[in-house]
Amino acid sequence: MDDNNTRTHYNMNTFKLGILGSTNGTDLQAILDAIASGELNAEVSVVLSNRKNAYILERAENHNVPAVFISYKDKSREEFDFEMTSILKNYKVDLVLLIGFMRVLSVEFCQEWRDKLLNVHPSLLPKYAGGMDTNVHEEVLKNGETETGCTIHFVTDEVDGGPILIQKKCSVNSTDTVDTLKTKVQKLEGEAFIEAINLIHHRDTENTE
């Protein structure tokens, strides 16, 4: 009983996160772990996906986070995005994070969540903008880059073109493969998301004081 009361009181004062994802949600796990350890004063309020079998939904359910599949069948991009916005607002989300979300968002959605919508990209933008997942790491290796990393940026209607909030770097070694680079960069992504959430939470707290 006491634990539940404590949790309810804590959640009233936390920063509410909404997650959009289409894949495994590795970065979601890093965020959930940071919340559990007290590193983040936040809660993941809801996870939305356009893919019914995306593991990110199962990952959310394993942590008692509401997980919602939204079908895009017979819907325009605007209709799909309006449905997402309705759900996010229903959960009173403060900040929306894109974690492996494999859809281009409508102009209306980007405007609705302006300055409250963050994406992670697995490169040091503006390098390799527009690339996705392992394709980026393949290009990094093919081009003989000596460093790579990740970028957290605000989302606008220009793909991978919004203002950069955080970048984290790692070296590219001669022995690296696509898989080892992906592992390195994903670790950085989790760290970067945690920093970014704290920055935006601090910004919003200051703005309301």
- Which residues are catalytic, by number? 121
Task: Please spell the DSSP secondary structure of 108-145, one letter per residue.
Answer: HHHHHTTTSEEEEESSSTTTTTT--HHHHHHHHHHTT-
DSSP three-state, residue 58: helix
User: Length of the chain in residues, anyone?
Assistant: 209
Residue 144 backbone dihedrals phi, psi, to 5 degrees: 70, 30
How far, CA to CA in Å, does 41 sit from each of 36, 38, 90, 122?
Answer: 9, 6, 21, 25
